A = this chain, B = another copy of it.
């Protein structure tokens, strides 16, 4: 009876999604899907991200095995980030999600406007 009552989304799943779908991860993955990038290339590609956030995002993605970090020992050092095979498998789910977002953005915008005007009338 309690078979799936405790089931839900499960904290591990939740945590995983948090780590991979967070603010900058999608942009980074998007970028790395097209080509390997160096640190500052990524910064330029995603202008709004700060160095700190980019660093922690990359670390997180690396830890979860979807991004790979390769240090080229030149002078000065170069670091090359690339997507892993595991990381590539993320494309389809993400694309499905983004497709959903694109398709339903108009409906959602309308819903928001309705909601907001309803709030104004009621709230005041």
Binding site for B on A (CB under 8 A): 8-9, 12-14, 16-18, 21, 23, 26-27, 30, 45-46, 62-66, 86, 89-90, 92-93, 96-102, 104-105, 107-108, 110-112, 114-116
Copies of this chain in its oligomeric complex: 2
User: What CA separation (Å) do A45 and B9 show in the bound complex?
Assistant: 12
A100: contacting residue among B26, B64, B89, B111, CB under 8 A = B89
Please determine whether B100 and A97 come into contact, CB atoms closer than 8 angstroms. no
Please determine whether B65 and A101 come into contact, CB atoms closer than 8 angstroms. no
A90: contacting residue among B9, B46, B100, CB under 8 A = B100
Task: Kindly report which residue of chain B lies nearest to residue A46, judged by CB atoms.
Answer: B8
A86: contacting residue among B12, B13, B98, B108, CB under 8 A = B108
